[in-house]
Amino acid sequence: MFITSSCVPQVARPDGFFDDVEFSDTCEGLYFLLNEGNVCASSCNDGEVVADEEQLEKILVDNDFEEFILDNIEISEGVCITPPEVIERPSDSIFIDDDFCICKNQKVASVTSGPDCAATCLEKEVTVATIFGSVTPGAKVKDDEQLQNLFGFCNNALDNTPDGQDANPPSCELIATDIDGRRFATNLKTYQGTNLFEANLESTGARFGEAYTFHIEETGSGIENAQSDYEQFKLFEPGDDDEYEGNLKIKLVSQYTCMIRATATSPNYDASQSIYLDTIRKHFYMPIDYPTPYLPPGVSDTIFCHDYIKEGQTDDAPQFSRLELTPGHFSLWDVNDVRFIKDGEIRTVDYLIKQRMIDMGANVSGNKEYFAPLETCVAPNVSVEDGGMPEACTSADSGLISSGLAMIPFFTDNSGNAICPGEAEYNSSTIEFRAIGEIVGVPTEGLYFAKGPREVIDLGDGNKQEVKPADVMFIRESQLKKIWFHLTSNGVHYKPTADTVSQPTYFYWPADEDAPYVQKRGYQKLYQVMHSSELTSSGYTTSIPTTIKPLDRKMACIPITQQ
């Protein structure tokens, strides 16, 4: 309703505004649209909010309103305004470079240090394990004049302190997290105008020989606690000859999702609006230091892999965090560890295990391969020409990459039960397991494939289309066994045992460990545990040898880095 000499309740138009019919002395029950030149309407415009008491007080001070407008504002339901710009320190816009070094006494002190760290550490006269690294700032930091780089991100104050609170000076910490989720913090040292950092890792309380994820977090201001992406380290005490010392280097693999959706094409729908009829979740996996894969422009109506509402942009970009990102969903061994270099047909680590067995008194002939590459689909294979519908991930050209190395499961008898060695095996009388324990250094657990249900999407024109291939995800043994079940012929859930693991096994995902047998409709999907050999017909491949299929369909052994 347009105000002339007063606000009037008028005849409603489809756009929510009101046309004049007759003058009235009241604007009661309507909202005052400050940005529309003294207009009242049944609701605020899109993107507007109702002013709070403090904002309203400022509006009244800043504007010389006539008395009749002030009266109408007072009796209105509220004043609609453009929400004030929120200044914030952005999360997920600081990316830790993976060539960081951890040094102690001028030597490398971590199995996760980069290949050039031996030379770097010679120049670092530190007597405690200290990380030296750099970051790459994302656009939200780099393009912000108040931030620009890591130093600015960590040290420059922003005008965003909540009213009534004292402003605290910003500062950053390095936060390390262990397998049980415990956090260990230490101050982060940064340098004016640069993206360089260093931190004393021993001051966090991190223990040598254990794996940690870590990130950078701005904690001093106590406002957003904005943080970087994640990396991983594992400390070891450097010795005199440490090329092959310490546990094998570990590579964390992150899980994220992309959502496939169908838009309405029927003439029954308004062509100017996007009507989304169905959505289907697909899972993808990338090493934690892998460059963010992003979709080509023009496919967001069919598939998206980032939070386009949060980012304010439908087309994907490398600076956007992946959707439902789970850093370190599982772990593999890092092929960049020098012990995984092949000498002919055998890797150095295989030779080291063999040699350690001989040293323990075993009679070993021939060579045995203990590790094999594990391939994961890092991103959907889509194009604008194909309408954004992803194709099967079957080669490097379609998004299949080698994310690291997994251990081949062990069969100690003819039962068909596969073993992933842990502390019990490492401390047993079996020489092979004892030797592996000394070389590998960490207990292992099983890694499983699981296939989602067949799903169709409503195309909006009376037709439906099945999305092929079905979703496939990886799940760790420690997580799977909290939520897995069998189903009877009449749909009753029951927990698997050692005697039943060969039966079809299922779980609901996303996981709910508190109620694993209750499916949350519209949210959880039913997944079936399958061996990799059972998935080849669906367009999925892996390099893990599958000469024997374990009864429980375990496909590989991976290092335990979380519970």
CB neighbour list of residue 517: distance below 8 Å, 6 or more residues apart: 485, 493
Where is pLDDT greater, at 34 or 87? 34
Query: What one-character-per-residue DSSP string does 426-482 give?
Result: HTSS-HHHHHHHHHH-S-EEEEEEEE----EEE-SSS-EEE-SSPPEEEEEHHHHTT
pLDDT of residue 538 exceeding 70, the answer is no
Rounded average pLDDT over 99-107: 90
Torsion-angle region of residue 369: left (phi > 0), alpha (psi -120 to 50) or beta? beta
Token pair in block for residue 543: 């390099």
pLDDT of residue 2: 37
* Cα(461)–Cα(264) distance, integer angstroms: 7
Q: Which of 177, 195, 286, 292 is nearest to 233 (CA)?
A: 177
* Cα(198)–Cα(368) distance, integer angstroms: 41
pLDDT of residue 533 exceeding 80, the answer is no
Determine contact, residues 151/191, Cβ cutoff 8 Å.
yes
pLDDT of residue 14: 37
The strand pair at 486-487 and 493-494 is best described as antiparallel
Token pair in block for residue 230: 């994640």
pLDDT of residue 269: 54
Lowest average pLDDT, out of 80-89, 238-247, 376-385, goes to 238-247
* Cα(278)–Cα(522) distance, integer angstroms: 11
Band of residue 389 on the pLDDT scale cut at 50, 70, 90 = confident
Determine contact, residues 1/19, Cβ cutoff 8 Å.
yes
Which ranges of 194-347 does DSSP label H, i.e. alpha helix? 308-311
- Which residues are paired to 174 by β-bridges? 186, 216
Determine contact, residues 261/323, Cβ cutoff 8 Å.
no
What is the pLDDT of the chain when averaged over all its residues? 83
pLDDT of residue 184: 93
Determine contact, residues 532/448, Cβ cutoff 8 Å.
no
pLDDT of residue 272: 54
496 preceded by cis ω (within 30°)? no
Phi (first) and psi of residue 187, to 5 degrees: -65, 145
Integer-rounded Cα radius of gyration of the chain: 29
* Cα(454)–Cα(183) distance, integer angstroms: 40
pLDDT of residue 544: 63
Q: What percent of the chain has pLDDT over 90?
A: 36
* Cα(212)–Cα(179) distance, integer angstroms: 7
Determine contact, residues 244/236, Cβ cutoff 8 Å.
no
Burial group, residue 26, by CB count within 10 angstroms (0-12, 13-18, 19+): middle
SS3 of residue 151 by DSSP? helix
Query: What one-character-per-residue DSSP string does 41-54 give?
Result: ESSPPTT-EE--HH
Determine contact, residues 486/494, Cβ cutoff 8 Å.
yes
Determine contact, residues 298/393, Cβ cutoff 8 Å.
no
pLDDT of residue 268: 58
- Which residues are paired to 96 by β-bridges? 135
Rounded average pLDDT over 294-307: 88
* Cα(26)–Cα(7) distance, integer angstroms: 6
pLDDT of residue 517: 94
* Cα(280)–Cα(469) distance, integer angstroms: 12
Torsion-angle region of residue 181: left (phi > 0), alpha (psi -120 to 50) or beta? left
The strand pair at 18-19 and 31-33 is best described as unpaired
Determine contact, residues 29/41, Cβ cutoff 8 Å.
no
Band of residue 159 on the pLDDT scale cut at 50, 70, 90 = confident
* Cα(111)–Cα(98) distance, integer angstroms: 13
Torsion-angle region of residue 328: left (phi > 0), alpha (psi -120 to 50) or beta? left
* Cα(234)–Cα(78) distance, integer angstroms: 57
pLDDT of residue 87: 75
Burial group, residue 544, by CB count within 10 angstroms (0-12, 13-18, 19+): buried
Q: Which of 21, 83, 29, 25 is nearest to 52 (CA)?
A: 83
pLDDT of residue 242: 52
Model confidence pLDDT, tens digit, residues 200-248: 999 988 888 777 889 999 998 887 789 999 888 888 777 644 556 677 8
